[in-house]
A and B are shown apart, each in its own frame.
Chain A
Amino acid sequence: MTTLDHHTSVRPVPNPSKSLITKLNMGTGLVVGIFFAVATYYGLGGDSAGVFENYNRTLLATMFMWSIGFMVGIGAFIGPFRWLIGKDLTDEEQLYLAGDGQGIKRYFKYCTDHKVVGIQYMVGVMVLLGVGGTMAMMIRTNLIQPGSKFVGPSIYNSLVGLHGITMIIAMIIVVTGPFGNYIMPIMIGAADMAFPRLNALSWWVLFTAIPVLCSAWFLGGIPTGWTAYAPLSVQAGPGMNAFIATIIIFAVSTAVAGANITATVVAMRAKGMKWNRVPIFVVGATMSVALAIPAFPTFMVSMIMTGLDRSYATTFFDANLGGSGWLYAHLFWIMGHPEVYVILIPGVAVLMEIAPVFVRKPLFSYNAAIAGFAGITGLSVLVWAHHMYMSGWMPMLNGPFMVTTEMISVPTGLIFLVILGTLWRGRPWLKLPMLGVYAFLWNFLIGGITGLYLSDVPADNYLHGSMYVTAHFHYTLMGAALTGALAGLAYWFPKMTGRMLHERAGYISFWLVQIGFQFLFLGMFIAGAEGQPRRVADYSINFATSDLISSVGAYMIGVGMIVLLWAVIHSWRHGKIAPMNPWGSKTLEWTVPYPVPLVNFDTPPVVTSDPYGYGKASN
């Protein structure tokens, strides 16, 4: 292939041989991180103190020091340190950090190339989804029949919480991590992200959170679910510290990544890419991360307060001493509801990017799409207390929160209009990415409409806290957002790996996952109607049928996801070599060869229209 001429590895590898940078990688990060952690743990007396607060303090400090130590060891602070002494990295060092020509090794280094970070995120997401999915299989196995003793209530509760938080973290980064980092800068014609070193920072900080989260297993698990409501979280065992530390570390990562992506889109667009020419995926991803920037700090703050209550005996959430559990619920949901749209919008935006390509029609009403995203983003910060209708906090405010919540259905309706309008009078080419659009239409329809019942205060009297809620948010987060992310995987796989995704395996996986999904969560809607509370390790005999249906569906998803994993690994190594633009798309990322050159474009592109100029112009 002629594109091999551009292969970056034929250029001489920069070799700033005396620099410390060349010596550092994931291995040194692990060594220093573990050293910091061990020194902190034993320095603070380990668990010998035996006092609840002391032990929590020790564990939290150990986890944070692990994270800091890892970042020191991998060289994250070399740049800032140079600044402190009035210098900066040399050009040669900068180029070395970009990982040019370093082959597979650069994936294990503090690499500033956005394409490397994108792949790191993609592998990280796949690991998280695998771990979270395995937990889901264990949950459904325990619920396959009443009285099951597969794991028992203690482990079950931990599974529920860790499945929840693992999947939430995975879903927050599932689109903006891999595609936001790898594809988006190319899509807007940029050479890299606005802050390449922050980009590496966001990934490696997130990486340090993964072992912390896993350590919850070895510290007795978490009994609280991912919502981590106080006072349950304050009385919980040492595993809770892992949850707290994970959220705080993750919040740092998302803040850095969000600021970076936003700055990139604002400042780094190609010449001629006016705001009304920006691909809709870029708009969606940017709105999502921009929404995360104000939302996540409240979660971080709530976790800092929980940590203080646990390790310094403060009483933020202790009603006995003037605190309030409702305070926690507010802080949590002020993050929690925007967060579901942080997850949803990028997935939808991927599908809006895909639909015009495979229907060969312009995106229907670009402005309506923007209005839909903007309306959702704006309203999403005003609806959080609908999670607290039944908490007893201010019943008089339930009405206003019901109104704001139901108003979200109007911008959400615009999303449907845009996709349907794009499909209409076209002949969709049902490749794997396009199938995702159809799956989304069904799943998000069900997810959206069932949300209407939950937003309604009287109906929520029955549905709140039941399996109905679980089914509803899986339809939106998994049925809509994850479907969008997987469609994005099928769509951009050729650009990210240079190879086509195995088609037959992709179809098999798609249908297994989507059909299993319907069994799983339609069954769960029935369980909710019958009155089964959510997050229960066991249930009475009258829910047996619906739970059995759900478990069967879960196994179908499990098999489908294993097929997909096989397809990804197999295609990455042995797949058919992809042409430069296999789908005939008009966005900029398809104008660059694989492997994508270090600075993406040989000559900076100039944009003269939006990327949806399909068909003969009318209207």
Chain B
Amino acid sequence: MSDDHGLVEMQPTPGQKLAAIFKQREVRVATAWGVLVTFIFFIIGGWIYPSWMPIAMSTDMKSIERLIVIFTWISAPICGIVLGFSIYTFLHRHKGDTPPVDGPGIRTNGLVVGLWVIVSSALCLVAIVYGLIEMNSASAATAEHKKNALVVEVTGSQWAWSFNYPEQGVVSHELNLPINRPVEFRIISVDVNHSFWPVQLGVKVDANRLQTTVVDTTPNKLGTLDVKCAELCGLYHAYMETSGEVMSAADFNAWVTSHQGGHTA
């Protein structure tokens, strides 16, 4: 890479080449910009972006928040490299109405290309492995939940959600759930595709016509739930939303008792 040593006969090792690259002033300044950018993305990803997300009311939602943070942290150095070097060259731009003189005729640099491929593959691998581990623990949790799950049959129709609790004999348009008990949603649509999205629980699955889809989670925090439709389903898609509550077991039982047999909201 460095033209200064073009006449030296001895072939430097890749390590020496790399060290020589980092001795150049322009590389150091660009790297400094990169470190600053990395730091900014680190802060945004770790604290600012999650603060916009709703309160996590299940372990699934908690792990999504964590995953988003960690992915931003993995990406922050990439942003640092790309933007650091971009900023450096932008600040050293050529001014004037005529083209600048030719720069160095660098065609390629095997070391840099190789390093780039290795590092980006490694980061990609980390993301893949981390995602697979999270998926695996989610499905392990699903197997665990099967035993004592509260079953809720969710029906999407244009443009409302309804929830049937078969064991309790309750039908409702509000999604009320007891805290700390696994819940298994069985979702179906009577017309077009909808997508069942209890926002704070961090799960989502489409409601398909005549095809039951299943998703489970365990609410672990008391509070209000927003239930939305995440698949365009026609005229009043935007209004196909309802609310619900994660409540204590006693409150849930009381709610069940007061609604049994009736088709009240």
Q: Which residues of A contact B (CB under 8 A)?
A: 153-154, 156-157, 160, 223-225, 227, 229, 231-232, 235, 319-320, 324-326, 358-362, 364-368, 390-392, 398-399, 402-403, 406-407, 409-410, 413-414, 416-417, 420-421, 423-430, 438, 441-442, 445, 449, 452-453, 456-459, 461-462, 464-466, 526, 529-531, 533-540, 583-584, 613-619
Does the CB pair B116–A413 fall under 8 Å?
yes
* B211 cross-chain contacts in A, Cβ below 8 A: 319, 324, 326, 392
State the CA gap A462–B71 with chains docked (Å): 15
Q: Is B67 an interface residue (CB 8 A)?
A: yes
Does the CB pair A465–B238 fall under 8 Å?
no
State the CA gap A449–B71 with chains docked (Å): 9
Instruction: Provide a sorted-by-A list of 6 A–B residue pairs whose CB atoms are within 8 angstroms.
Output: A153-B236, A399-B135, A410-B121, A425-B26, A458-B64, A462-B53
* A324 cross-chain contacts in B, Cβ below 8 A: 211
Q: Is B213 an interface residue (CB 8 A)?
A: yes
Q: Is B108 an interface residue (CB 8 A)?
A: yes
* B113 cross-chain contacts in A, Cβ below 8 A: 365, 368, 417
In the complex, the chain B residue whose C-beta lies closest to that of A153 is B235
In the complex, the chain A residue whose C-beta lies closest to that of B138 is A458
* A617 cross-chain contacts in B, Cβ below 8 A: 105, 107
* B241 cross-chain contacts in A, Cβ below 8 A: 540
Flag B108-151 by CB within 8 Å of A: 1 or 0 each. 11001100110011011001100110110010000000000000
B161 to chain A, nearest CB (A): 13
Evaluate whether A361 and B116 lie within 8 angstroms (CB atoms) in the complex, with A398-B135, A456-B71 already known.
no
In the complex, the chain A residue whose C-beta lies closest to that of B212 is A392
Evaluate whether A462 and B61 lie within 8 angstroms (CB atoms) in the complex, with A157-B234, A390-B195, A429-B99 already known.
yes
Does the CB pair B193–A231 fall under 8 Å?
yes
Q: Is B245 an interface residue (CB 8 A)?
A: no
In the complex, the chain A residue whose C-beta lies closest to that of B231 is A465
State the CA gap A442–B82 with chains docked (Å): 8
Which listed residue, B89, B123, B191, touches A423 by the CB 8 Å rule? B89
Does the CB pair A618–B106 fall under 8 Å?
yes
Evaluate whether A364 and B106 lie within 8 angstroms (CB atoms) in the complex, with A410-B120, A410-B121, A427-B100 already known.
yes
State the CA gap A616–B16 with chains docked (Å): 25
A159 to chain B, nearest CB (A): 12
* B109 cross-chain contacts in A, Cβ below 8 A: 364-365, 421, 619
Does the CB pair B202–A461 fall under 8 Å?
yes
Does the CB pair B206–A391 fall under 8 Å?
yes
State the CA gap A617–B104 with chains docked (Å): 8
Q: Is B205 an interface residue (CB 8 A)?
A: yes
Which listed residue, A430, A449, A526, touches B52 by the CB 8 Å rule? A526
* B61 cross-chain contacts in A, Cβ below 8 A: 462
Which listed residue, A153, A403, A461, A534, touches B128 by the CB 8 Å rule? A403
State the CA gap A616–B232 with chains docked (Å): 57
Q: Which of B7-15, B170-178, B222-230, B250-258 lines the interface with chain A?
A: B222-230
State the CA gap A496–B137 with chains docked (Å): 58
A273 to chain B, nearest CB (A): 18
B69 to chain A, nearest CB (A): 11
Does the CB pair B131–A406 fall under 8 Å?
yes
Q: Is B102 an interface residue (CB 8 A)?
A: yes
Within B23-63, the residues touching A (CB, 8 Å) are 26, 49, 52-54, 60-61, 63
* B235 cross-chain contacts in A, Cβ below 8 A: 153-154, 157, 223
Which listed residue, B89, B94, B108, B131, touches A402 by the CB 8 Å rule? B131
Which listed residue, B131, B138, B193, B204, touches A462 by the CB 8 Å rule? B204
Does the CB pair A326–B208 fall under 8 Å?
yes
* A407 cross-chain contacts in B, Cβ below 8 A: 124, 128
Does the CB pair B82–A420 fall under 8 Å?
yes
- Please provide the 9 A-B residue pairs with the shortest distance between their CB atoms, ordered closest to farther: A465-B230, A392-B213, A615-B105, A536-B238, A426-B103, A413-B120, A365-B108, A427-B94, A529-B52
B2 to chain A, nearest CB (A): 10
In this complex, the member of A407, A414, A531 whose beta carbon has the largest number of chain B beta carbons within 10 angstroms is A531
* A584 cross-chain contacts in B, Cβ below 8 A: 99
Which listed residue, B52, B68, B86, B237, touches A530 by the CB 8 Å rule? B52
Does the CB pair B79–A445 fall under 8 Å?
yes
Does the CB pair A232–B89 fall under 8 Å?
no
Flag B173-216 by CB within 8 Å of A: 1 or 0 each. 00000000000000100011101010100111110111101000
Which listed residue, B3, B127, B204, touches A452 by the CB 8 Å rule? B127
Which listed residue, B26, B101, B121, B229, touches A533 by the CB 8 Å rule? B229
Which listed residue, A232, A364, A441, A529, touches B108 by the CB 8 Å rule? A364
Does the CB pair B127–A325 fall under 8 Å?
no
Does the CB pair B86–A538 fall under 8 Å?
no
State the CA gap A232–B156 with chains docked (Å): 13
State the CA gap A325–B231 with chains docked (Å): 13
Does the CB pair A425–B106 fall under 8 Å?
yes
Evaluate whether A442 and B83 lie within 8 angstroms (CB atoms) in the complex, with A426-B89, A461-B204 already known.
yes
State the CA gap A361–B218 with chains docked (Å): 58
* B191 cross-chain contacts in A, Cβ below 8 A: 231, 235
Which listed residue, A420, A533, A539, touches B230 by the CB 8 Å rule? A533
Evaluate whether A438 and B99 lie within 8 angstroms (CB atoms) in the complex, with A231-B209, A425-B106, A533-B230 already known.
no
Does the CB pair A458–B131 fall under 8 Å?
yes
Does the CB pair A229–B193 fall under 8 Å?
yes
State the CA gap A584–B235 with chains docked (Å): 55
Which listed residue, B54, B105, B193, B231, touches A614 by the CB 8 Å rule? B105
State the CA gap A466–B195 with chains docked (Å): 11
* A362 cross-chain contacts in B, Cβ below 8 A: 105-107
Which listed residue, B60, B92, B117, touches A461 by the CB 8 Å rule? B60
